[in-house]
Amino acid sequence: MPTGVAIRDAREQLFEAAERVLLRDGPSALTSRAVTAEAGCAKGVLHRHFDDFDAFLAELVRDRIARLDGRAAALCDAAGTGTVVGHLAEALTDLFGPVAVAVVGLVTSRDALRARLRRTTPAGIPLLTEAAAVVAAYLTAERERGRLAPDADIDTLAPTLVGSGHLLFADRTGDRPTAEAVRRAVTAVLAGVLREPSA
């Protein structure tokens, strides 16, 4: 492949190529050669923008984490409207889209990548830890509005919801769970603390 061809927004093009490889072939197929071939550029392009392949993968994961910010704001803005179960079921379904599920698989399968991500996510599984923080912020907002019990244990509920969501969506090659299955899981986790009808 020619090395002198400039590509528009190389980092984003490489991230998109990596996501396509992840979705099509899974984490084990993700190599620098596979990414650059998918992006249609020379291998040197990746190394001009990143120190090494693990640095590239760490930035890919951080890019996915950064996308949670907009979702967090929208979810918290929804507090006090609709239903808590409905908002959380929708948020988990959105969070665990095919790319995010593949990214979590990538993080859990590469020790060197997890080690790099410890700089920004010192505990837990990167992406899932940040997702739990988003859910916790929303649950806190709902508790303040009286839609959850005053003694609702947000620090336990948030990771439980994210963990349950991950288990529902984790099989990237199988059928995605139905909306009703996600709602049932959310309802079960919130049993005893929900102070509104779940319908």
Contacts of 8 (CB under 8 A, 6+ apart): none
Contacts of 20 (CB under 8 A, 6+ apart): 38
Which pLDDT score is estimated for 173? 78
The neighbouring-strand residues paired with 148 are 194
Which pLDDT score is estimated for 124? 86
Asked whether residue 7 carries a pLDDT value surpassing 60, the answer given is: no
* Residue 113 and residue 15 in one domain: no
* Residue 81 and residue 155 in one domain: yes
pLDDT digits 0-9 by tens, 45-58: 898 889 999 999 99
* Residue 22 and residue 84 in one domain: no
Asked whether residue 194 carries a pLDDT value surpassing 80, the answer given is: yes
* Residue 184 and residue 98 in one domain: yes
* Residue 77 and residue 149 in one domain: yes
* Residue 37 and residue 77 in one domain: no
* Residue 26 and residue 112 in one domain: no
Provide, rounded to the nearest whole percent, the portion of the chain with pLDDT above 90.
Answer: 65
Residue 58 placed within a domain: no
Q: How confident is the model at residue 34 (pLDDT cuts 50, 70, 90)?
A: very high
Asked whether residue 30 carries a pLDDT value surpassing 80, the answer given is: yes
Which pLDDT score is estimated for 163? 96
Residue 136 placed within a domain: yes
State the CATH number of the domain containing residue 35.
1.10.10.60
Which pLDDT score is estimated for 140? 97
* Residue 23 and residue 82 in one domain: no
Q: What is the mean pLDDT of residues 107-130?
A: 89
Which pLDDT score is estimated for 197? 60
> Domain limits at 107?
67-190
* Residue 28 and residue 117 in one domain: no
The answer to whether 152 and 193 have CB atoms below 8 angstroms apart is yes
Q: Cα separation of 24 and 18, whole Å? A: 10
* Residue 93 and residue 18 in one domain: no
* Residue 101 and residue 143 in one domain: yes
* Residue 113 and residue 161 in one domain: yes
Which helix H or strand E contains 13, and what residues bound it? helix 10-25
Q: How confident is the model at residue 121 (pLDDT cuts 50, 70, 90)?
A: confident
pLDDT digits 0-9 by tens, 156-176: 999 999 999 999 999 877 889
Q: How many domains does the chain have?
A: 2
Q: Which of 39-43, 70-74, 185-189 reaches the highest mean pLDDT?
A: 185-189
